[in-house]
Amino acid sequence: MARLNYLELPVRDTATAKAFYAAAFGWQFSDFGPSYAATTTGDTEIGFQADRAEATAAALAVIQVEDLEATEAAVRAAGGEITRAAFDFPGGRRFHFRDVAGHELAAMQADD
C-alpha cells in the first residue's frame, strides 16, 4: 500500500527553520545544498478532516510527542505561536501552532 512518508514545507530561510525545529523537538537535519534541508528519521501518517469548522486552510502535519505540555512550552520558547489550545480527540490530545515560517502544524500525545 502506498504511504505518505514526506512532507515538504516552503520556508524563507533554512537556517531559521532548522533552528526552530531543533529547539522545539530536538530534530537533526541534513543539508542538501544551500537552500534545502531535511530530516531522515521517521514515517508519516495521513488523515482527512471533513468537518469544515475544524479543517485548516492547508495541509496539517501532526507531530507525535511524548509530553504535550513540555512540547507546547518548547514551541513557544522557539518562537512558535499557539493557534489552538490543547484539546482531547479520540486517541489522545493535541494543540495547533504556527511555526516561524507561518505554517500551521499540530503536536499530539497519544493516550497511554
What pLDDT sits at residue 91?
83
pLDDT tens digits, one per residue of 52-69: 666 667 777 888 899 999
38 forms beta bridges with: 30
Residue reference for cell 514551541: 75
- pLDDT 10s per residue in the chain (112 long)? 444 456 678 788 888 988 998 999 888 888 888 888 888 766 665 455 655 666 667 777 888 899 999 999 999 999 999 999 999 987 899 999 999 999 898 888 989 8
Strands (E), 1-112: 30-31, 37-38, 61-64, 81-89, 92-98, 104-110
31 forms beta bridges with: 37
What pLDDT sits at residue 44?
60
Query: How many Å apart are CA 1 and CA 36, to the nearest integer?
Result: 28
